[in-house]
Amino acid sequence: MATEIERKFLVQGEAWRVGAKGERYCQGYLSRGERTVRVRVAGIRAYLTIKGASHGIARLEYEYEIPMGDAEEMLSQLCDRPLIDKIRYKIPHQDLLWEVDEFLGENAGLILAEVELTTTDQAVVLPDWVGMEVSGDRRYFNAYLVDHPYGSWS
């Protein structure tokens, strides 16, 4: 059993960009709801991920590497639209690895920072560029952005 424990924040300013190198991610959803099934292409690798319902900042997560051709076909033929297109930057800070997602396409303008933890009560020193926490706000879940792209928010 694999448990993902993750906190999510809005990003403020541009200081996070200093020295950050990103990788393009494209992902789509085969199933969304309490449980999600996602296909993702991250650089030269592809994955199938199954996530359970959220319980606070924790949820079950299973991720498996799959052949690139299979992922591309699933993204093209089976996944809900729009696909989630983003650049992910990995930024170390205070012994933790932060992932900053800069969304593209219909979600352009949204920039989120996530940090994975080992326990739900783990102390976290926030970088200066981290803003409001949105961990419990479903609007910031990638699966939600399929039906409600950030560009359409008023």
The per-residue pLDDT for range 59-76, each reduced to its tens digit, is 999 999 999 999 999 999
Strands 111-116 and 3-11: antiparallel
| CA–CA distances in Å: residue 11 to residues 19, 47, 54, 83 | 16, 26, 22, 22
Q: Report the catalytic residues.
A: 29
Domain parsing of the chain, residue ranges: 3-152
pLDDT tens digit sequence for 109-152? 999 999 999 999 999 999 999 999 999 999 999 999 999 999 99
- In CATH terms, is domain 3-152 a member of 2.40.320.10? yes
- Which pTM value belongs to this model? 0.95
Alpha carbon distances (Å) from 20 to 6, 114, 126, 128: 21, 15, 17, 15
Structure tokens at 148: 């409600």
Total length of the chain: 154
